[in-house]
Amino acid sequence: MAHSRFVRTLPPLLVLFACLACSDDPTQGPADTDAWTDASADAWTDASADASADALSESRPDDGGNPPTDTPVPDATDAGHRDTPEDVPPQDLDGDDGSLDGGELDTAGDADAGRDSGQWEQSGVGDFALADYAEAARLATRFYGAQRCGDADNWLLTDNPHGDSCHLQDGPEHDPQLDLTGGWHDAGDYIKFTSTTAWTAYALLIGYEAFPAAYADQDGPSYGGVANGVPDVLDEVRVATDYLLRVHPDPDTLIHRVGGDQDHDLWVTSPYQSTLSVAQGGGQRPVFAGGRADVAGMTAAALAVAARVFREHDPDHAAACLTTARSVYALGRARTGTTPDGFYGDDDWQDNMLAGAAELHRTTGEVTYLEHAESYHAAVGRHYWVCGWDNPADLGRHALARAGHEGALAVWGEEVAAYAQRVSEQEYIRGMAWFHDWGSLAWASNAAFSAALYFKITGDETARGLAISQVDYVLGANEYGRSFLVGYGVNPPRRPHH
């Protein structure tokens, strides 16, 4: 059962908007492409901005990723073997005793660790000015504030006659003491999925980590218009990581969904729904606690990156993220296979565990995680699809490449080259990297996100061109001459169903 989903499709686009909006120069390749030092594409400050194309949220085709032979009009619904790295001393995550839950933060192998973002000398990169990309990134980030569940300053609910909070009884249906409030609604319905929340947080965090200068601090967590010293994208990601800490309340439990399909039968706002009966989606909503390796691996990856990123802003939160990342990854090792669910069905789990292991290695420097990641990398091989909520292999290989793994970089490069071959010359989708008719721009944006990360490491000009072209397509450089980002540009979508 596939549904259009905003949250999971926004991250890559948001990253790309931010990336192009910052002052990095994508025209300068890395100083040493053989060493693939991220030096070059700092050019890419990114803000996982699937925000726009969420409109075209995605769902993996039933045939396991093989593209259809027909080429329908794109959705217009809305608003995205080791080398030897130099040793770097481990850094404290908690600023306390130099370790956290038995592990230490190690930045060894980060090719661009300590570098600044480079310089953009020109007024624009693709077909738009830097200010256009910056505004697109701002809108994409703000979108997440409208998806917030619970009592979390959802700006969209400020004037709702039924209140500005919702679903405050999530959790007790499974355990009277369990608090599963918060997080993001998955789409226009109000279900919460751990896998897509984790994917979104993961992509946004990788984007921020790769291109930090691209992310502005213009607001605070409550959207009051006052900067708080934390980039706005991290204020939003914190909503997700707080929730991800709750879905793994003990070593043997992983909640993979909260809520049923009642939302699809009753079109009401979330505060009003919360006042209704359980049968109508209110009260103590159903909790599903059967998460397996696919969900565990993605959750571990997101939290492992959060442990790195948040140590500057909130060391205690960073420490909690690493502790939970370790535990949920261990659950995935013990509970292999995919999670049965009537909404999101993944046909693979090794790619998720690859991401979890690779990010835990990058965070802790522990060899065991690296060995696991290498094993999963070999098991996955070429995926012949595109990165996304159901396939984080590219991001896992990005982490391995940053640690000096040439084999992972090579396979990832083959995938990115294949993405570039997907750019269509056919009428109605000319210029779009075409993968599938469901959520078409989301897949294109995911491919562009992976390409941007690949360019940052290698300086590959084909990857750079792909990334820029897909962002510009979303913003209006297409045969329709219209923007696909709600609230931006010429003739953008209105009242989208997502």
Q: Block means of pLDDT (10 residues each) for the chain, length 498 residues?
A: 48 74 46 29 29 31 36 37 29 28 33 30 61 93 95 93 96 97 94 97 97 93 93 97 98 97 88 95 96 98 98 97 98 97 89 98 98 98 96 98 97 98 97 94 96 97 97 96 95 86
Question: 8: part of which helix (H) or strand (E)?
Answer: helix 6-21
CA distance 47 to 49: 5
Residue 125: predicted pLDDT:
60
CA distance 20 to 42: 10
Residue 8: predicted pLDDT:
59
CA distance 498 to 492: 15
CA distance 440 to 431: 12
CB of 386 closer than 8 Å to CB of 446: yes
- Amino acid, res. 434: W
Burial class (CB in 10 A: 0-12, 13-18, 19+), 285: buried
CA distance 462 to 467: 9
Residue bearing tokens 């003491």: 177
| Concatenated DSSP letters of 211-254 | -GGG------TT--S---SS-HHHHHHHHHHHHHHHS--STT--
Angle, alpha carbons 411-377-202 (nearest 5°): 90
Residue bearing tokens 């990297």: 433
Q: For residue 184, give the nearest of 102, 271, 243 by alpha carbon.
A: 243
CA distance 355 to 203: 11
Find how far residue 98's CA is from the centre of its chain.
29
Residue 113: predicted pLDDT:
32
CB of 197 closer than 8 Å to CB of 240: yes
Residue bearing tokens 């003739």: 491
Residue 495: predicted pLDDT:
85
Find how far residue 374's CA is from the centre of its chain.
22
Which residues are 124's β-sheet partners? 129
- Give the Å distances, CA to CA, from 37 to 10, 20, 33, 297, 430: 28, 20, 7, 27, 34
Burial class (CB in 10 A: 0-12, 13-18, 19+), 9: buried
Report the length, in residues, of the chain.
498
- Amino acid, res. 422: R
CA distance 117 to 96: 30
For helices 440-458 and 194-210, give the axis angle rounded to 10 degrees. 40
Using DSSP's 3-state secondary structure scheme, residue 91 falls into strand
Dig out the tokens for 312 from the structure.
Answer: 């500057």
- For the chain, helix, strand, coil in percent to 5 are 45, 5, 55
CB of 187 closer than 8 Å to CB of 291: no
Using DSSP's 3-state secondary structure scheme, residue 423 falls into strand
Q: For residue 408, give the nearest of 451, 365, 443, 358 by alpha carbon.
A: 358
Residue 342: predicted pLDDT:
82
Residue 19: predicted pLDDT:
73
Residue 429: predicted pLDDT:
96
